[in-house]
Amino acid sequence: MFKHLDAFLVGYYGMQNCGDDALLLATHFGARKHLQCNKIAVSSMRDIKLCDDLQIAKTLRKTQNWRGQNRVIQYRHALASKRVIFGGGSVFHNATDINQKRHLIKLAGQKRSQALGVSLGPFKDTQAEQACAKFLREVGFVAVRDQQSYDIAKAITPDCNVKLSFDLAVSLCKHPQFKVNQGPRQGILFNVCPVAKDAFGNTDPFEEEQRARDLSQVIEALWRRTGERITLINFNGHAQLGDGQLTKLICEQLRGRVPVSTIPYNSNPLKVMQVISHFKVMVSMRLHGNVFAYMSKTPSIALNYHPKCEQWCEQIGLPQAMRFDINQFSKRGLFNAIEQGLETGFPMAQLPVETATERSEANWSKQDEQPKFFSRHPALQ
């Protein structure tokens, strides 16, 4: 079959998630810049406007006419492509999904296919680990975004072609439309999200309500003390699994007491970063909320709910005073961190954004160079 596509991009794309939108834009931008790919298809169930001059056309069906239709569509696109690129995210943890990726690269061409800025594990079972080991042996090149993933790759497949790089989204600092505010800043920006208890996205209603109450109390105290405008931004626009429900709950608890504005989900990550750069500080649960703040040189306080969030903090050397465990945080401690930062300045990450950008761009380079991350934990050295 004639391969009329230069690349087929596969990931959690079209899910109304700012982080995945950024990874898709970075993958698309990098494929054109570094691999000279012009004809690119994307595995997505919806059309996405990623930036002013890039509209992604959907390839998958929201409602399948028959079971397995979307898988066949993916296989057809892989067969018509010179390479498959898995761009960013936690996409290697269960056997069924990993084996589908193995099928895709076989159809496109294993040695030309790549997995860039990805993380490996935790594996669901031994079958998933074995499937990942096979994938690592078969694919042309893998760049992982964290030390733990690199250690896993070398442990299960010592001779695989893997490199330790960085979060792929940070390479967007090199995008021609990347422009952030250089002037005065105002206000405090919050991002909240549901904390899933299982793979289906189910949450604990009691915990969600308690989290909303705790954050509402912190927000009200901050507004009364500082007078800074309060804004909540949604990074995930999914009706059931997105940020909207928790955002709405917080707004309802503050109604009549604190003026609060909200910013809806936006599929253009460059626009989202521009918005963030106008605030004095961002307080975010979402990993890529903190990534976007870092890229726009906006002070950020991480409300970590997942190991990947803590790993990011370690990678950039975010001071401990700017990190909180969302499951057991001190309201007084969070209030103090924000108030003191507004008064005297926020401590920033140790890793310069310019250095991180170079490491992110290294996802596209097969040179074997291992960057140093700012970690106090042996497992992350």
Residue 256 gets the label, from left (phi > 0), alpha (psi -120 to 50) or beta, of left
Mean pLDDT of the chain: 94
**204 and 67 together in one domain:** no
Q: How many domains does the chain have?
A: 2
pLDDT in tens, 254-272: 999 999 999 999 999 999 9
**Is position 364 within any domain?**
no
Q: What is the mean pLDDT of residues 353-359?
A: 98
Q: Residue 153 in contact with residue 160, Cβ under 8 Å?
A: yes
What pLDDT is attached to residue 374?
Answer: 47
Q: What is the mean pLDDT of residues 308-313?
A: 93
What's 317's domain CATH number? 3.40.50.2000
355 confidence band (pLDDT: 50, 70, 90) = very high
**Is position 368 within any domain?**
no
**Is position 12 within any domain?**
yes
Please report, rounded to a whole number, the percentage of residues in the chain having pLDDT higher than 90.
90
**Is position 147 within any domain?**
yes
**75 and 197 together in one domain:** no
What pLDDT is attached to residue 23?
Answer: 98
**28 and 100 together in one domain:** yes
In angstroms and rounded to an integer, the radius of gyration of the C-alpha atoms of the chain is: 21
To 10 degrees, the CA torsion angle through 320, 321, 326, 329? 120
**329 and 229 together in one domain:** yes
The domain in which residue 105 lies consists of 7-164
Burial class (CB in 10 A: 0-12, 13-18, 19+), 149: buried
Q: Is the pLDDT of residue 168 over 80?
A: yes
Q: Residue 146 in contact with residue 268, Cβ under 8 Å?
A: no
Q: What is the mean pLDDT of residues 60-72?
A: 95
Q: Is the pLDDT of residue 120 over 50?
A: yes
**251 and 342 together in one domain:** yes
Q: Is the pLDDT of residue 368 over 80?
A: no
**Is position 27 within any domain?**
yes
The Cα–Cα gap between 44 and 8 comes to 11
**Is position 144 within any domain?**
yes
**Is position 361 within any domain?**
no
**151 and 42 together in one domain:** yes
For residues 372 and 224, the model is more confident at: 224
What pLDDT is attached to residue 121?
Answer: 87
What pLDDT is attached to residue 373?
Answer: 45
Q: Is the pLDDT of residue 64 over 60?
A: yes
What pLDDT is attached to residue 1?
Answer: 57
| Longest Cα–Cα distance in the chain | 67
